Structures are given as C-alpha cells and as structure tokens.
C-alpha cells in the first residue's frame, strides 16, 4: 500500500486544512495510507512524532478551519543538504515516497530540490550506514506534488491560490466596518493590507470596496501622484461622498522604489485636502478566521487532484503543481510556475514594471 505524506509549509493560509483533509481522505479512498508531516520541513527533518498516520476521522471538521492544524514553520536546516538527508531518512523509515506540499514558491522550490537529489540522498545514507540497501530499494523514485497555499495570490500559472479569497473576504469585511465610522464622521481612512510583491489583495479589495485610490507593488504611481490622488478624492467629495478609502499594499512603492507608506499618504490627505484621516493596518486578521466557500472548494478539488497526480506519476514526468485556470483544476510543471513567479519578482526589483506585466500577460495568452 502506497504511503502518501502531506504537509503545509511557509505562511499559513485559510483552506490549508481543507487541502490536508482532501489529501488524507482521497488517499484512503484510493487504498493508500496517509501521513501528516507536522511543522512543515521541520517535521521532515526531525521525524519521530512529527510524522503521523492519519485516519479518516482525524481530519473531521477540518474543512472550514483557518490556519493550518498540522502546523507550519520556516526551516533553515532543509535549505542545506544535511537537512534534506535527514528528511530522506525519515521518509524511508516511515515508508513514504510521495509528498504533497501545500505552500508558497519557497516551499515548492525546496520540494523540487529534494526530488532532484533523490535517489542520491538514499545512496549517501547507505554509504553512511544509516540505512541498508534493502531498506532503500523499494523507494527509488520520490513523488512530489505542489498545492499552492498563499493569501497573496502570488503564484504564476494559476488563477487563485488557496487562501487568497478568504483573505480578500476578510479585508472587505474590515473595510465595511471602517466605512460605517468613516461615513459617520466624514473621515478618510488609509488601510494597509498584506502583499509584499503582489498587489492582488490590494487591487481586488479596492474593486470590491469601491476604494478611492490603491497603491500596489507592481504598478507604482506616476510622479506627482499626490496631486492626482487628491484631485480624485476632492472630486468624489464634491459629488457628495462622505467617506474616503485609500488602500495601500504593504509592499507598495513609488517610481524611485521607495515604499509608499500609509503615514505619508495620510499626511498628504491631511495637508492638501484637510481631511480628518486615520490609518488602519489590518495585519494578521487578514490571515485568520474560517476559510471562505471558494477556498474550501478549491482546496478540496485540488487535494483530490494532487492524490490522482501522485498515483499517475512516473519517474519521467516533472513534478506537477495543481493549479486552477479558467475554473478548471489543472496540472502545471511545478518548476516552470515557480521560475515564472520569481522572474516577475525579479523584474519588479529591477524597476522593470513593464517586463513584469508582460510576463504576467504571457501566462494568459498560452
Ligand atoms: P513560502 O513557501 O511561503 O514561499 P518560504 O520561502 O519561507 O515560504 O519557504 C518555506 C520553507 O521552505 C523554508 O523555511 C525552507 O525550509 C524551505 N525552502 C524555501 N526555499 C528553499 C530552497 N531554495 N531550498 C530548500 N528549502 C527551501
């Protein structure tokens, strides 16, 4: 009976538990055994009680739960070969040769490196007399499947990451609350949302709440944006709007790559428009709470697909990443998606905003 490991890694995101639940139950339904690896790569490296057989009922009630109940961690050791060697040994000791990882581009890169070193890691363990040839013989091929869990929706080649719509929902609820008080006092609010390299949350929150102005990492405003922003807001006010909402992504920058801070935006609104202005940094509430319906559905369908991908994989197929494109659950080559994501980030870092946009557009023209 095949043993399939599942783990969550990197930043937590609502829907990760739904993904684990789907992987566990689909594995069992297909006649396999499911194992949860707790605390991300930390659990892989340390092994022992951090790798646990999961039964059907162990994931009862997990569909809606936020965060990740099997834990996540940043793990320095796994970045080194010695850590991955320990991870390989723990997998063999548990008889696991398929791993489904739900995380961001960092976690999926780590997983692919791990696979590329296989079965060399096993030979090394035999040489070091930590395992015997008989122990490693049945496990010559490691299966890796990626699920993308991230509230930022920052992975290329997929339309949505697990957690993004829950976070967007949370932001909208928070802005609705702010709206009520902003309207009452005729105030302006500068709302800072998450998104270090990807402005999807800020942009879609802006659309969904009818914000007056939005600042994103990948589209810095033109020089003189202060006047443009004030003109727009003054116009809205003149038309009778009693509240002003400006959304700033935490990674928002201007053309000189200087951060656009919420406090600077507030000062502009106070100084140029005389608006009574407050700042609200939403912070970790954006990650918290239950998963929205879309994330429950996405994580469940993708978790099922991940198990199918494990069972269909051959040593020749590149590791797949489970994606969603135009409402269809799809498989994409994992490393292509990760490389594209990192190329976009590199463009932004190098001020090549048009290049970043072209890369993103190219995805949809495939
Ligand atoms: P995310 O998955 O959300 O992008 P990180 O980049 O922090 O988050 O990655 C999570 C974990 O994945 C790291 O703590 C590390 O253990 C592992 N990891 C990330 N990048 C690599 C890499 N290049 N090689 C090996 N492991 C990596």
Q: Work out whether strand 328-333 and strand 320-325 pair parallel, antiparallel, or are unpaired.
A: antiparallel
- Give the number of the atom of ligand 1 that is nearest the alpha carbon of residue 79: 25
What's the chain's Rg over C-alpha atoms? 23
Query: Closest Cα to residue 101, out of 160, 163, 47, 143?
Result: 143
Which residue is listed with tokens 């970790």?
284
Cα–Cα distance, 264 to 245 (Å, whole number): 15
- What residues flank ligand 1, with Cβ below 6 Å? 9-11, 41, 74-75, 78-79, 103-107, 109-110, 113
Interval between CA 272 and ligand 1 midpoint (Å) = 44
Per-residue pLDDT of the chain (366 residues; tens, 9 = 90+): 799 999 999 999 999 999 999 999 999 999 999 999 999 999 999 999 999 999 999 999 999 999 999 999 999 999 999 999 999 999 999 999 999 999 999 999 999 899 999 999 999 999 999 999 999 999 999 999 999 999 999 999 999 999 999 999 999 999 999 999 999 999 999 999 999 889 999 999 999 999 999 999 988 998 999 999 999 999 999 999 999 999 999 999 998 888 999 999 999 999 999 999 999 999 999 998 999 999 999 999 999 999 999 999 988 889 999 999 999 999 999 999 999 988 988 888 888 888 888 888 877 665
Interval between CA 49 and ligand 1 midpoint (Å) = 22
Q: Half-sphere exposure of residue 199, counting CA atoms within 13 Å on the CB side?
A: 21
User: Helix H segments across the chain?
Assistant: 16-29, 41-46, 81-93, 105-117, 120-127, 133-136, 164-185, 200-209, 225-238, 262-273, 293-312, 334-349, 353-365
At CA 61, angle to CA 208 and CA 56, rounded to 5?
130
What lies within 8 Å, CB to CB, of 87 at 6+ separation is 41, 44, 45, 78, 114
User: Residue of the nearest CA to atom 21 in ligand 1?
Assistant: 110
Q: What is the pTM of this model?
A: 0.96
Out of 12, 152, 154, 295, the active site residue is: 152
- Give the number of the atom of ligand 1 that is nearest the alpha carbon of residue 104: 2
Interval between CA 291 and ligand 1 midpoint (Å) = 24
**What does the chain come to in residues?**
366
Which residue is listed with tokens 């696991």?
96
ipTM rounded to 2 decimals:
0.98
- Sheet containing strand 277-281, edge to edge, reads 213-215, 244-249, 188-193, 277-281
Query: Closest Cα to residue 100, out of 68, 143, 58?
Result: 143
At CA 47, angle to CA 42 and CA 52, rounded to 5?
105
């Amino acid at each position: 009976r095949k043993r399939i490991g599942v783990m969550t890694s990197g930043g937590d995101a609502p829907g990760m538990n739904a993904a684990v639940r789907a992987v566990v139950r689909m594995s069992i339904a297909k006649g396999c055994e499911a194992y949860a690896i707790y605390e991300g790569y930390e659990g892989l490296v340390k092994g022992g009680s951090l790798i646990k057989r999961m039964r059907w009922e162990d994931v009862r009630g997990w569909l809606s739960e936020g965060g990740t109940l099997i834990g996540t961690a940043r793990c320095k050791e796994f970045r080194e070969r010695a850590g991955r060697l320990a991870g390989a040994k723990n997998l063999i000791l548990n008889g696991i040769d398929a791993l489904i990882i739900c995380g961001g581009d960092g976690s999926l890169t780590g997983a692919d490196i791990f696979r590329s070193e296989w079965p060399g890691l096993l030979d090394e363990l035999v040489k070091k007399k930590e395992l015997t040839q008989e122990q490693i013989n049945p496990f010559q091929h490691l299966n890796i499947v990626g699920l993308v869990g991230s509230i930022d929706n920052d992975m290329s080649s997929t339309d949505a990451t697990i957690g993004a719509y829950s976070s967007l929902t949370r932001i909208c609820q928070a802005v609705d609350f702010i709206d009520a008080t902003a309207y009452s006092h005729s105030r302006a609010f500068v709302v800072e949302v998450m998104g270090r390299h990807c402005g999807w949350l800020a942009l879609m929150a802006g659309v969904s709440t009818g914000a007056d102005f939005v600042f994103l990492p990948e589209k810095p405003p033109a020089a003189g944006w202060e006047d443009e922003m004030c003109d727009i807001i003054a116009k809205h006010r003149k038309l009778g709007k009693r509240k002003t909402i400006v959304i700033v992504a935490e990674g928002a920058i201007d053309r000189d790559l200087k951060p656009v801070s919420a406090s600077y935006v507030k000062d502009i609104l106070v100084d140029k428009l005389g608006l009574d202005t407050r700042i609200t940094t939403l912070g970790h509430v954006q990650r918290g709470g239950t998963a929205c319906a879309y994330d429950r559905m996405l994580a469940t369908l993708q978790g099922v697909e991940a198990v199918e991908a494990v069972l269909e994989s051959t040593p020749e197929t590149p590791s797949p990443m489970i994606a969603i494109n135009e409402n269809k659950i799809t498989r994409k080559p994992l490393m292509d998606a990760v490389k594209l994501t990192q190329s976009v980030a590199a463009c932004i870092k190098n001020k090549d905003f048009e290049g970043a946009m072209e890369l993103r557009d190219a995805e949809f023209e495939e």
